[in-house]
Structure 1
Amino acid sequence: MVPSPAVSPEKPIFPGCLAWILENQHDDGSWGLQYSVHGGRDPTLMKDALSSTLACILALKRWDTGDHHVRSALAFMERNSGSLLDSSLQAPIGFDVVFPSMVQTCTQDFRLNLPLDGAHVDAMIRNRDVALTGADRTVGRDAYLAYVSEGIGGFQGLARGNAMRFQRKNGSILNSPSATAAAVIHGHDDALSLGYLRSVLRTTTAGSNAAAGLCIHVYIWTYNCRKLPFRYY
């Protein structure tokens, strides 16, 4: 969703990413991981699919294209929305923060009526707000918040100041293409950040991984482990 300052704010700076979205929607209307030892989608990865699908819907709405893709994606979300609050399913890092923020962006900025249960959405927003207002300020928690800064409304306040503390020498925010893209969208469009995003695209053919460089996960895993009951260690 990064606009092109050189061409027009109504044009994407990375048009190849938009083309990748249009060309790589799965037959069921989703985007995201589908890997399973038995073929097809692994049901434990449904939250990843819902998150990836909503992110692609946002990108298509932002650039006003792919109406058919959006309709198919919304149908997929309606069929699988019951998975959102299923605690037995695996979730991408930051799902509880990023997903409800994407829902709010869809409904508030694009006036898109998502086929999600209102009570589920309200519960997720409450959980997100609790996660963002926790009292413990540790290096691990600050790194976690920086990593999921795309899901902190408008990249304001804590998100803006905290995330840039974790800019790496390669220009990324903690080796995360999405967090780095959020920083660029909201004004931190320095040459290092853009250079990092371009380097990621050179190696991923426009469909980027969640993390390009994995050292940050040491911080995030440590923070997540601290939240677990002792019996899980």
Structure 2
Amino acid sequence: MDGFEDARERIRENFGKLELSPSSYDTAWVAMVPSRHSLNEPCFPQCLDWIIENQREDGSWGLNPSHPLLLKDSLSSTLACLLALTKWRVGDEQIKRGFGFIETYGWAVDNKDQISPLGFEIIFSTMIKFAEKLNLNLPLNLDLVNLVNCKKDSTIKSSHYVSNKDTFIALLG
């Protein structure tokens, strides 16, 4: 485990030198990493602090919730932050406000006019399943959840098909 501590220290040193714009989505995933000493404690509690301190007024986390076409990004970021807070049982007020955002803007999940982050169908559907495992009852319409799951399956199948077709064409010639 000395390698773990060395890597962790190198990461801290490197991040201390850089000026990065924090990503709420990425921060949430880092916040979910458990400590190597206890699976019941976060490895990076400062990420949870950042999440709690950086929720937007409307209950979201993300790029720019006021931009009318970036709701899917805000929904993904918000859901990831809710997962992190729920996993470590902190931020009850933030979770409640995040639910409000998801309830208000959940319609955008299936809106074709919204800009979709890369892999949105797969990632959002997977986060919904993770929320279910955490007993986090998201305020999303069940029909919408089923539709997102179908789109995930369709996206995976079409990606697999395209990959196989391209491989086949490459082999032919």
**Fold agreement, TM-score > 0.5:** yes
Q: Secondary structure at the match of 1:88?
A: coil
Match of 2:72 in 1: 47
Alignment counterpart, residue 100 of structure 1, candidates 125, 129, 132:
125
Shift of 1:85: 0.6
Q: Point out where structure 2 has 5 or more consecutive residues left out of the alignment.
A: 1-31, 168-173
114, 124, 127: which one pairs with 2:148? 124
Separation (CA, whole Å) in 1 of partners of 2:87 and 2:138 = 16
Higher relative helix content: 2
Q: Report if aligned partners of 2:79, 2:127 keep a CA contact under 8 Å in 1.
A: yes
Aligned-partner Cα distance in 2 for 1:84–1:77: 10
The alignment status of 1:3 with 2:13, answered yes or no, reads no
**1:64 aligned residue:** 89
What SS class does the counterpart of residue 12 from structure 1 fall into?
A: coil
Distance, in Å, in 1 between the alignment partners of 2:33 and 2:116 is 25
**1:13-39 deviation line (CA, Å, top 9, x unaligned):** 1111111101000011000011xxxxx
Match of 1:174 in 2: none
Identity of aligned residues (%): 39
State the alpha-carbon separation in 2 of the partners of residues 137 and 84 from structure 1.
26
The runs of 5 or more residues in structure 1 that have no matched partner are: 35-39, 142-233
1:135 equivalenced with 2:161 (yes/no): yes
Q: What is the alpha-carbon root mean square deviation over aligned residues? A: 1.7
Report if aligned partners of 1:28, 1:72 keep a CA contact under 8 Å in 2. yes
Cα contact 1:33–1:41 (8 A) shared by 2: no
2:38 aligned with 1:12: no
Residues in 2 aligned to 1:111 and 1:19: alpha-carbon distance in whole angstroms: 22
1:1-233 equivalences under 5 Å are: 1-5=32-36, 7-34=37-64, 41-107=66-132, 109-133=133-157, 134-137=160-163
Q: What is the total number of aligned residue pairs between the two structures?
A: 133
Alpha-carbon distance in structure 2 between the residues aligned to 1:135 and 1:25? 40
